[in-house]
Structure 1
Amino acid sequence: MTSLLNAIFGGKKSSEQNTLQVDMHSHLLAAIDDGVKSLEESFEIIRKFRELGYKKIITTPHIMSDFYRNTPEIIQKKLKDLQDFLDSKAFYFPVEAAAEYYVDESFLEMLKKKQKMLSFGEERYLLFETGFMNPPPFLDEAIFLMQTEGYKPIFAHPERYIYLYDNFSMLERIWETGVYLQVNLLSLTGYYSREAKKMVEKLIDANLVHFAASDCHGHKHFEALKEATKTSYYKKLTQKSLLNNTLM
């Protein structure tokens, strides 16, 4: 009976149907980093996320001492601006904000001084990234401090770090310390590079992925995201026990 109603009323899932309900890495607060530039652009992209089947967004602007000197207060103000704008459009969709922290000396000092960090979820997940070419010499210390302070570190897009391409054992060691791994869905299409595509497939095959996210910075990324949902490895990835939907 259900299949008959679907056939009549168009309930059949499209080729772009998404099984993830929560996106937990994006740059959708206006004019705060290298992501979207306006509230209107934020609104347009968030509307597209809902059309793709998402039910919640946790957006994560950069905090990077040399380039994006954001603070929890700045980010929360930008989030309020976005929520007010969505309300003005009578568009009700859950959007929260945390941050993507760049591991540098400044980040290390923040941890040592026990400064407020923008984590998310009941588990207090803390999203972090490093430079793409070389790991910071104090990466292990930063991970230790995050965990000591009660956070659960999430390593953003490990498939994109060139220093890991010939050192997969380093990534396995990081994983074994209790760090969660989040891959970018765009990597499934080869959007960033052929090497990143190979690496994300290797991570999926090795069952090392905890989260998958868009890392959406604008319209171009969203269009690539739709293509990612059509790949064979997207299906393989979403059949695994990802933690995205535990954030609802």
Structure 2
Amino acid sequence: MIDIHSHILPAIDDGSRNLDMTLSMLHMSAVSGVTDIIATPHVNRGGHVPSWQEIEEKTAQVAEAAKRAHLPIHIYSGAEIELNGDVLRFLKEGSWDYCLAGSPYILLELTDQSQSDMAERLIYELQLRGFQPVLAHVERYEQLMNHPDVLISWAKKGILLQCNIGSFTGYFGHHLQQHVEDLYRNHMVHFLGSDGHRTEFRTTDMREGHDALRNLQQKQHNQQDLWLETTQNASRILNHRVLYPDVPDYWQVKKKGLWQRLFGS
């Protein structure tokens, strides 16, 4: 597994508090089958934009510490960038600063206040500058999940979608679990991430999520091995190759059970 979304860098955002916690988080990742992980600290949240140099230096420090601790995991630099007009100021054409693992792929976060039409215009401008947009934890965005036709339209325009593996376990609540199951049913999950923040909660341990994916595959009688497929997709980020996923023409709704069909509830 390649974890493309994590907050493992120490003392830079609301993630890891210190290097010891970071190493514990990396140990959790490794034992859950993660071979590669991208550090994606928050950028532009509340207007705070840590320098790319700081992110790269911290990533190098963590990689060296992990090597000394004999942790079998590769660590790359990146960022999770809040999408608003400021991104056009510090994301420059021809520069892959704040991108994932030195590639053109860039992880973008919407907010509850993000308007779909405005977000789409900003993303399009980033695409014109050569960036490949990836939407972080798309299952959280009600403004998109309530309008799946918009989501499909975005995907057809080259916007890729990442989900948090914890959403498949119900960690973030039944509502988000329903969202990721709908996305899975429609083959609209391109990448997975732990979105790991700490060792006590929202961890980088993906084992329970892996089990949830296997159970979901059996439940939906779906042949899609999402763990394997998203790992293969993420390898394209590390190898700086373009991903062209198949996008459905329409949104497939969940079939109602017998009780729901008889009584409408």
TM-score scaled by structure 1? 0.82
The offset of 1:123, in angstroms, is 5.1
Number of equivalenced pairs? 228
The gaps in structure 1 that reach 5 residues or longer are 1-19
Q: Which secondary structure state, in structure 2, belongs to the residue aligned with residue 35 of structure 1?
A: coil
Q: Amino acid of the residue matched to residue 40 of structure 2?
A: T
CA–CA distance in structure 2, aligned partners of residues 81 and 90 of structure 1: 14
1:71 aligns with 2:51: yes
1:222 aligns with 2:206: no
Q: Which residue number in structure 2 is paired with residue 138 of structure 1?
A: 118
CA RMSD of aligned residues (A): 2.5
Contact map agreement 1:101 1:129 (CA 8 A) in 2:
yes
CA–CA distance in structure 2, aligned partners of residues 245 and 65 of structure 1: 28
Contact map agreement 1:111 1:145 (CA 8 A) in 2:
no
Q: CA deviation digits over 1:137-159, x for unaligned, max 9?
A: 53122211221121111011110
* One of 229, 244, 248 as aligned partner of 1:241: 229
CA–CA distance in structure 2, aligned partners of residues 29 and 72 of structure 1: 13
CA–CA distance in structure 2, aligned partners of residues 135 and 240 of structure 1: 33
Contact map agreement 1:127 1:155 (CA 8 A) in 2:
yes
Greater alpha carbon shift after TM alignment, 116-125 vs 232-241 = 232-241
Q: Which secondary structure state, in structure 1, belongs to the residue aligned with residue 202 of structure 2?
A: helix
The offset of 1:42, in angstroms, is 0.6
CA–CA distance in structure 2, aligned partners of residues 145 and 223 of structure 1: 33
CA–CA distance in structure 2, aligned partners of residues 113 and 158 of structure 1: 25
Greater alpha carbon shift after TM alignment, 60-69 vs 140-149 = 60-69
In structure 2, the CA distance between the partners of 1:144 and 1:82, relative to structure 1 (3 Å rule), is same
Contact map agreement 1:129 1:155 (CA 8 A) in 2:
yes
The offset of 1:90, in angstroms, is 4.2
Contact map agreement 1:188 1:201 (CA 8 A) in 2:
yes
1:189 aligns with 2:159: no
Q: Amino acid of the residue matched to residue 208 of structure 2?
A: E
Q: CA deviation digits over 1:37-73, x for unaligned, max 9?
A: 0101110111121111211111111102525421211
TM-score scaled by structure 2? 0.77
The offset of 1:122, in angstroms, is 7.1
The offset of 1:162, in angstroms, is 2.3
Runs of 4 or more, structure 1, over 4 Å off, are 112-116, 234-237
In structure 2, the CA distance between the partners of 1:50 and 1:90, relative to structure 1 (3 Å rule), is closer
Q: Amino acid of the residue matched to residue 63 of structure 1?
A: V
The gaps in structure 2 that reach 5 residues or longer are 219-223, 240-265
In structure 2, the CA distance between the partners of 1:32 and 1:49, relative to structure 1 (3 Å rule), is same
Q: Which residue number in structure 1 is paired with residue 15 of structure 2?
A: 35
Q: Amino acid of the residue matched to residue 229 of structure 2?
A: S
Q: Which secondary structure state, in structure 2, belongs to the residue aligned with residue 154 of structure 1?
A: strand
Greater alpha carbon shift after TM alignment, 166-175 vs 223-232 = 223-232
CA–CA distance in structure 2, aligned partners of residues 168 and 178 of structure 1: 15
